[in-house]
Structure 1
Amino acid sequence: MSKFLERSVNIDGLELAFHFEVMPEEAQYDVAVDLSPLVKAQGITVITPSISRKDGGAFYQRGFRLKTRIPLVDIHGISIPGKANNPFLFGIPWHFDEQTSLHQSFPFLCFINREGKNKLTLGIKDPTVGYRLVGKLCKDERTFELTIGSLGAMRKAPQIFFSRKEIPWFNMTEVYSEWTGIDEQNIPSGAYDPVFCTWYAVHQDLNEKWVEDVATEAYKLGFRIFILDDGWFTPDTGRGYWYTGDWEVCTKKFPNFKQHVQRVQNLGMKYVLWIAPFMVGKKSRAYKNFKHLLVAPSDSFASLCPQSSTTREYLLEIIPQLYEDYNLDGFKFDFIDSLPTEPCQKGGHEHFCDSPGEGVRQILESLVERLNSLGNKCPLIEFRQEYANPNMRQYCTAFRAIDAPLDFDNNRRRIINLRSFSGKFPVYSDPIFWGEGELLKNIARHFINCTFSVPMLSVDLLRLNNEEKKIIKFWIEFYRRHRDILLFGKFVPVFAVGDFVAALTTQGEKGILALYSHGAIRLGQELSGNLPRELHILNGSCSEVVDLTCERLTGDWQIEVMDRCGHIVKTLKKTLNGGLSVPVEIGGLVRLLAE
């Protein structure tokens, strides 16, 4: 039975109680506890709570827990950007209980007011050991109780990020992400190219001819990355993951896969293959061969234990072999978040590390190193949002928003959430997807809502009409023409009543503003300098009129109104005095150019 040694420290008026979990025999020693806060720039305080024996002897710390009660004064929500939907931006939850690790979310919370500004932030630098975050509203005390505890043994003291600096939560998350000091791997410029994915379009119902015909159409529309999603390894089209784990190409669908890949690449496309590295379907050969290694079972699959050296050896063999045998350009790594966050307790196999997070880290590190050693190209590697975090940037080349089929609003929210901790790292939209008969204005709104990400599409291009293709082509061209400002400019999401109602990016004399809720917006603090001399306003709102109020919007301006296909429908010159009101169809845009 372990024991807890407790110590407390007060930082900026908040009492933080630290509990160090030790074995009973360790508790008898005279120990030194260091809770000295280190004040850094940008309003950050860093605490590295450590415990050691005063006689210098070895000391084993089984776990760690931080507990505090936060007074609910001018606090009306909690930003948890590690959760894809960031669900508590507009309301304080009664309770939450979340587990995080390197491969699942990350331990960071920002308590915010109604304006979306930080009142208190707590985060941990390295999530690898795994942490449990438990929150509870204590209404009688007018406080929120927060407990953060490790899920495994502590090999080193955690570094804890603390800040009360009143800046927007989005910017506070950026500060935290930069503070982690994680260097992303070299990102090839091609990682920012528009992406076509097969998943929503046909799911597992793939065949060689359809794939090549669609790849041809996708290239014509401006896409340069092609993802062959789930279904390439099995004749089954019934969904589920029963046949994952063997990772052998289904020759009924692809008679000569290497030649097929080459033909798609000859179009000018990068070829990326879907794979769920740790997943083993219950009808695969691998399921029988690796049954002693399987953890976290579900209906159709289980996962290879990431702490096992056999898992590491298998993945280091099979994934590079696929990459090399078929001359692939990369992989979409899926379902890494299906792995457990707590240390494996299953017998029957050995472990080379203490926690799943550490196993994932070492396997991914070795995989990336191995793939980079093959050929002279940097492989494209996509991670899904559930295991996107600052630490994971070193093992992939893009993060993708979690599944939001048919739903441009949630796609937008998830993209912006990802951008809060990704910096200039590529963020892919979830594949844009709509049903037959969808209104053209809504198709354009899909692209406007994904404007500040690398656009990804998944519809059957062979079944679209010409108007749909014109909209796709225009908005992909718009992205490619303005890519640098969209992805690398100063990005400011406009946050109101718990949602992102607009977003602005500026770079030098140019700016792009996207409206998502209302056609009317007032720009003030979002602009850190002068109003850009060239400004595109994209109408993804519910209004046929764009109303912009800004005290810096003065003087003579040239105005071009465009429809959702980019055709100019009206040009005019106006002398403006702090505002502009102009009819713009939903899904269209207007360009302002200062004279």
Structure 2
Amino acid sequence: MVHLHLAPAPDGGPRRVLLARSAPTVATALRGLRQWFAAQPQCAPMPVPDSAQAPVYSTWYAFNQRVDAASVEAEARVAASLGCEVLILDDGWQKYGSGRGYAGCGDWRPDPTTFPDFAAHVSAVRAQGLRYLAWVAPLLLGPDADCAERLTPYAPAPAGVPGAQVLDPRRPEVRDHVISLCTRLVADHGLDGLKIDFLDEAMAYRGDGAYAHHEGTDIDDVGRAMTVLLTDLRTALEELRPDGGLLLELRQPYVGPGMAPFGNMLRSFDCPGDATGNRVRTLDTALLAVGGAVHGDMLLWDRDAPAHAVARQLIGSLHCVPQISVRLTELSGEHRETLAFWLAEWRRLRPVLLHGDVESGRPDELYTLVTAARGRACVTTVHSDRIVPVDTTAYDDITLVNGTASDRVVIEVTGGQRPLRMTVRDERGRIIDDCERSPAPGLHIVSVPRSGWWHYG
């Protein structure tokens, strides 16, 4: 027996409960739910250009707030050579953007000392072949901002992050302000889009909260107000980028099906250096993503780490779009070789990884065996000591990635016995073995270096 206790709907209407039929796997059950959401008009996804499905370079973990035009342009050159197609300039580019906390948020104008000609800087990065996004948190208002005196009456609730208040999107003045500042950023500086952060702070104005009632609002429910705001914002930005190339990044937790119309890059919540966390969070998001490209949190690693530790970070976000955030200009030759190999492999496998049917295994086991299949190709990543099924009848092109700490993988061959080319590479992409094999059905131990790669086909 199941008891459901549901809060009343904001509009007073009935609640709907969708029950999934019995399914062999979690992914299969959620696939039906995802299809149901996709059929709802209010979940119609925003267009996803190719650049939203390409590797990203982000400045956040590499620089934090200590960014400047020359350093970013130097990183952009290396990022482009490694196959990145998008650059995200994170916090620190804006005036009053130095120092932790958000007391300077609100104006969203470039810092004249570090970005004296922001439009020229953006143009220089785009000339490398990269799309350019800038970070913005449009609902945050800090006391140090030049606009604070004018906007403070519209931001009674304190933010969950230090030093700032939250603008109330139920007020028309706030919605006009957010749309104006975001369109100004894109239009004035030639940006391809925005990384829109801290939208979940709007929940300070939820119906059961201390700030549920606020004079001057023209929409009572904060959820409906955010829908109006984001709908109008997308419309205004698409008028500036009518070619369909607009990029908008959203971040967990606001990446559910209801946000599909408002963002096309859906990123994992921050988990720096945590390959397991990245894997779990991106697969959680992907299982219910309606449109949009799922992105991992930005990858970083210790500059003195062994190459297999670098590869492990990339393997943790293999089934989503990778974002990189280390100082590329300071990489050792070994680290650069490792990064180049895995980004090239990811691009080769992208059609299967992003557009194939994914079986992620059990969430309570942290998705330690993940398989994506499309047509006659499949990609499997294994992250624990377990048997990996290999179907040589169903697939002609099989890639197995060893995300464990062991230098061998146990496979169970099913299907017919037939000769196929087997190649094994280490974490840097160097060939360890390359021969023709005809494995018989049953269990086999295959030597694959940890953070290495095995291809059969």
Give the TM-score normalised by structure 1.
Answer: 0.72
Q: Deviation at 1:279? A: 1.0
Identify the residue that residue 353 of structure 1 maps to in structure 2: 219
Are the equivalent residues in 1 in contact too, given 2:26–2:362 (CA < 8 A)?
no
CA displacement, residues 116-162 of structure 1 (integer Å, 9 cap, x when unaligned): xxxxxxxxxxxxxxxxxxxxxxxxxxxxxx52213x64253332212
Q: Which whole-Å CA distance do the structure 1 matches of 2:182 and 2:295 have between them?
A: 23
Confirm whether residue 362 of structure 1 aligns to residue 228 of structure 2. Answer: yes
Confirm whether residue 373 of structure 1 aligns to residue 234 of structure 2. Answer: no
Are the equivalent residues in 1 in contact too, given 2:185–2:191 (CA < 8 A)?
yes
CA displacement, residues 68-89 of structure 1 (integer Å, 9 cap, x when unaligned): 53xxxxxxxxxxxxxxxxxxxx
Q: Deviation at 1:543? A: 1.1
Structure-to-structure mapping, 1:518-537, within 5 angstroms: 518=385, 520-523=386-389, 530-537=393-400
Answer with 581-590 or 348-357: which moved more.
Answer: 348-357
Identify the residue that residue 79 of structure 2 maps to in structure 1: 218
CA displacement, residues 331-350 of structure 1 (integer Å, 9 cap, x when unaligned): 00100111226237466641
Distance change (3 Å), C-alpha of 1:419 and 1:236: closer
Identify the residue that residue 503 of structure 1 maps to in structure 2: 370
Q: Deviation at 1:361? A: 0.4
Q: Deviation at 1:424? A: 5.2
Structure-to-structure mapping, 1:50-89, within 5 angstroms: 68-69=2-3
Are the equivalent residues in 2 in contact too, given 1:553–1:577 (CA < 8 A)?
yes
| Counterpart pick for 2:34 among 153, 159, 177 | 177
Are the equivalent residues in 2 in contact too, given 1:491–1:506 (CA < 8 A)?
yes
Identify the residue that residue 588 of structure 1 maps to in structure 2: 452
Structure-to-structure mapping, 1:141-540, within 5 angstroms: 146-150=4-8, 153-180=10-37, 181=40, 182-234=43-95, 236-298=97-159, 299-340=162-203, 342-343=206-207, 345=211, 349-378=215-244, 379-422=246-289, 425-495=292-362, 498-518=365-385, 520-523=386-389, 530-540=393-403
Distance change (3 Å), C-alpha of 1:555 and 1:571: same
Q: Which whole-Å CA distance do the structure 2 matches of 1:295 and 1:548 have between them?
A: 59
Q: Which whole-Å CA distance do the structure 2 matches of 1:494 and 1:161 have between them?
A: 22
Q: Which whole-Å CA distance do the structure 1 matches of 2:363 and 2:146 have between them?
A: 52
Answer with 173-182 or 473-482: which moved more.
Answer: 173-182
| One-letter amino acid of the counterpart of residue 367, structure 1 | L
Q: Which whole-Å CA distance do the structure 2 matches of 1:375 and 1:583 have between them?
A: 50
Distance change (3 Å), C-alpha of 1:171 and 1:464: same
Q: Deviation at 1:571? A: 1.3
Q: Deviation at 1:409? A: 0.5
Are the equivalent residues in 2 in contact too, given 1:296–1:338 (CA < 8 A)?
no
Identify the residue that residue 130 of structure 1 maps to in structure 2: none
CA displacement, residues 332-376 of structure 1 (integer Å, 9 cap, x when unaligned): 010011122623746664112121111110000000011111143
1:273 partner SS: strand
Q: Which whole-Å CA distance do the structure 1 matches of 2:327 and 2:156 have between them?
A: 36
| One-letter amino acid of the counterpart of residue 49, structure 2 | P
CA displacement, residues 65-116 of structure 1 (integer Å, 9 cap, x when unaligned): xxx53xxxxxxxxxxxxxxxxxxxxxxxxxxxxxxxxxxxxxxxxxxxxxxx
Are the equivalent residues in 2 in contact too, given 1:424–1:488 (CA < 8 A)?
no
2:33 partner SS: helix
Q: Deviation at 1:295? A: 4.0
Identify the residue that residue 419 of structure 2 maps to in structure 1: 556
Q: Deviation at 1:315? A: 1.1
Are the equivalent residues in 2 in contact too, given 1:174–1:423 (CA < 8 A)?
no
Identify the residue that residue 407 of structure 2 maps to in structure 1: 544
Q: Which whole-Å CA distance do the structure 2 matches of 1:302 and 1:513 have between them?
A: 45
Distance change (3 Å), C-alpha of 1:488 and 1:424: farther
Identify the residue that residue 570 of structure 1 maps to in structure 2: 433
Q: Deviation at 1:285? A: 2.5
1:272 partner SS: strand
Are the equivalent residues in 2 in contact too, given 1:296–1:339 (CA < 8 A)?
no
Higher helix share: 2
CA displacement, residues 485-513 of structure 1 (integer Å, 9 cap, x when unaligned): 11001111122753211111111111111
Q: Any gaps of 5 or more consecutive residues in structure 1?
A: 1-13, 15-67, 70-145
Q: Which whole-Å CA distance do the structure 1 matches of 2:398 and 2:455 have between them?
A: 6
1:427 partner SS: strand
Answer with 185-194 or 403-412: which moved more.
Answer: 185-194
Q: Which whole-Å CA distance do the structure 2 matches of 1:354 and 1:438 have between them?
A: 52
Higher strand share: 1
Q: Deviation at 1:177? A: 2.4
Q: Which whole-Å CA distance do the structure 2 matches of 1:160 and 1:545 have between them?
A: 46
Query: Computing the radius of gyration over CA atoms, which structure comes out larger, 1 or 2?
Result: 1
Q: Deviation at 1:461? A: 1.0
Distance change (3 Å), C-alpha of 1:346 and 1:452: closer
2:232 partner SS: helix
Are the equivalent residues in 1 in contact too, given 2:131–2:192 (CA < 8 A)?
yes
Q: Which whole-Å CA distance do the structure 2 matches of 1:218 and 1:294 have between them?
A: 39
Distance change (3 Å), C-alpha of 1:184 and 1:220: same
Q: Which whole-Å CA distance do the structure 1 matches of 2:393 and 2:26 have between them?
A: 24
Are the equivalent residues in 1 in contact too, given 2:382–2:388 (CA < 8 A)?
no
1:582 partner SS: strand
Q: Which whole-Å CA distance do the structure 1 matches of 2:319 and 2:290 have between them?
A: 12
Q: Which whole-Å CA distance do the structure 1 matches of 2:188 and 2:254 have between them?
A: 28
Q: Which whole-Å CA distance do the structure 2 matches of 1:155 and 1:404 have between them?
A: 38
Identify the residue that residue 18 of structure 1 maps to in structure 2: none
Q: Which whole-Å CA distance do the structure 2 matches of 1:231 and 1:498 have between them?
A: 38
Identify the residue that residue 96 of structure 1 maps to in structure 2: none
| One-letter amino acid of the counterpart of residue 270, structure 1 | R
Are the equivalent residues in 1 in contact too, given 2:271–2:297 (CA < 8 A)?
yes
Are the equivalent residues in 1 in contact too, given 2:97–2:105 (CA < 8 A)?
no
Q: Deviation at 1:553? A: 6.1
Q: Which whole-Å CA distance do the structure 1 matches of 2:295 and 2:451 have between them?
A: 21
Q: Deviation at 1:567? A: 2.1
Answer with 562-571 or 459-468: which moved more.
Answer: 562-571
Aligned residues: 446
Identify the residue that residue 111 of structure 1 maps to in structure 2: none
CA displacement, residues 509-530 of structure 1 (integer Å, 9 cap, x when unaligned): 1111111122x42428xx7x94
Q: Which whole-Å CA distance do the structure 2 matches of 1:296 and 1:174 have between them?
A: 38
Q: Which whole-Å CA distance do the structure 1 matches of 2:395 and 2:178 have between them?
A: 50
Identify the residue that residue 50 of structure 1 maps to in structure 2: none
